[in-house]
Amino acid sequence: MKKWILIFPVLFLMFFHAATTHAISNQPIHWGFKKGANEKQADAGEKYDNLLEKYGAFYKGSADQKILYLTFDNGYENGYTAKILDVLKKEKVPAAFFVTGHYLDSAPDLAKRMVDEGHIVGNHSWSHPDMTQISDEKIRIELDKVKEETKRITGQSDMQYLRPPRGILSERTLKVARDSGYIHVLWSLAFKDWQVNQQKGWKYAYDNIMAQVHPGAVMLLHTVSKDNADALEKVIQDLKKRGYVFKSLDDYMLKEKVKNPIIAH
């Protein structure tokens, strides 16, 4: 009898943990919604807004200020990142680069340059999996490997921003990431720029960016795109002329997320 008295609380806690874990949805969300236009913000809808807020994630800033947050996804190097970094340095614009394990292995010099020039290196996972299809432990391994290798290569000791690979997430992956100290950074401006064999010239990139831009935009571009590299300087200069300023994700956190700080476990 005494044995069961001792075991019962343990069984209860195990059951409670399993029930709560099971209750968290792993339904995949493929991030995408109607694009912004005429300098009006895109809107993902109340359902997604509430879900992201619950886990400290975000995809846009305040609609009241003409602030832009420039981010790049770096799955692999295609020869254009150095040019992009040159433009950012010339125009004094901060950016965040979300890197994979492949990128760190193949272009460590560029990853180091990003950090040396004041940019943020974020986590895009080690092997770019659909994280809704792998275990919690595997997600943590994917993220830890990128963080550790980035620190070794660049000296960047902290890594708190995550861009979900393939743009796929779920409530479960949001929770695992948050519990590991990460903030999901999605986007409110993007276009089909990653297909390297379907580049259409710098003006295609320029026109897509300028048509969608809005106050508080989190801009997603891919560094594999020649169009993006060729258009970036004019994009930045013309947006500045429109009264926009570029800020880092750290600035976003200071201005808009201090009321809902991320807590690492």
Residues serving a catalytic function are: 73, 222
Please tell me whether residue 158 adopts helix, strand or coil conformation: coil
Q: What is the 8-class DSSP label of residue 122?
A: E
**Other CB atoms closer than 10 Å to residue 146's CB: what's the count?**
24
H-helix or E-strand spanning residue 96: strand 96-99
- Please name the residue ranges forming H helices in the chain: 2-23, 46-54, 81-91, 101-106, 108-116, 136-154, 171-179, 202-212, 226-241, 249-256
H helix intervals, 118-225:
136-154, 171-179, 202-212
Distance CA 32, CA 73 (A): 16
